[in-house]
Amino acid sequence: MKTLKKITIEHIRYRKTILKLAKADLIKTYKGTVLGWPWVLVRPIMTLGVYYFAFSIGLKVSSPVNDYSFFLWLIAGVVPWFYMRDILTAGASSIRKYKFLVTKIKYPISTIPTFVCVSNLIVNCILIILVMIVFILLGHSPDIYWIQIPFYILVMFVIFSIWSLFSGIVATVSNDFMQLVKSSVIIMFWMSGVMYDVNSINSEIIRNIMLINPITIIINGFRDAFIYKEWIWDSPNEFINLCVIFIIMLFLAVFCYKKLEHEIVDIL
């Protein structure tokens, strides 16, 4: 509890610095390019364009999902995945990437993964707004279920900020862990229900195992808000799973931070 309290105090004390560093991280990523920051939107928009061509024109997957086109169903889950995909690796590499903050100015280690998550979240929020605009342009007006979207964005941010703290610490002391994370991204893509509905899997055992995955639960949540018109309490098992995963990840992150905080400074 003392370590958790310390981490919380560091985030409160450095909250303004976290926002400034998040902005700097966003600018640094695309510094030197002709377009500059608009590149943060070009790649995901091009990816969505490829998905549209592949599924709507190439494969001709046109079966509607709950009176919504397959493309709308797809982007409702793919756009949140973009954030989670990027944070899986960016969070794990965050402390090494910004090691000068630790070695030169003694900046609190626990806040480094946080501002990297904030930087990526800004981009994803813009993309989610674009998704909303696409829904509206295609004749699907906002409804009361959309008020859940900020909640799922917050849940996504909190869960992956904790992941980033845990993975950032472990990856700093183990290069093998970083390689494992990079290798697992494509596995997570296909095992998290990004391209299909996990709830449609016939095997109850497999379905229940997959619904332990926070990525799957978050993607389902966005699609519930956009497509299926369901509230979070309509899927109590998924909510319970998410809470359990949150507690486990928080414990691991705090435990690793407590054990390795001082060793990280020496390693870097």
Averaged pLDDT for residues 222-226: 95
Paired tokens of 11: 């985030």
DSSP one-letter string for 142-181: --GGGGGHHHHHHHHHHHHHHHHHHHHHHHHH-HHHHHHH
Interatomic CA distance for residues 260 and 262, integer angstroms: 6
Report whether 159 contacts 218 (CB < 8 A).
yes
What is the per-residue pLDDT across 91-103, written as a single tens digit (0 to 9) for each?
999 999 898 888 8
Percent share of the chain, pLDDT over 90: 53
Only one residue has tokens 């993309």, namely 127
Paired tokens of 36: 């500059």
What is the per-residue pLDDT across 185-218, written as a single tens digit (0 to 9) for each?
999 999 998 888 898 888 889 888 999 999 999 9
What is the per-residue pLDDT across 238-258, written as a single tens digit (0 to 9) for each?
999 999 999 999 999 999 998
Q: What is the per-residue burial (b if ≥16 Cβ within 10 Å, else e) of 128-149?
A: bebbeebbeeeebeeeeeeebb
Of 203, 14, 19, 11, give the one whose Cα is nearest residue 121.
Answer: 19
What is the per-residue pLDDT across 105-156, written as a single tens digit (0 to 9) for each?
878 899 999 999 999 999 899 999 999 999 999 889 899 999 999 999 999 9
Only one residue has tokens 């800004």, namely 122
Only one residue has tokens 């377009």, namely 35
Q: pTM for the complete prediction?
A: 0.91
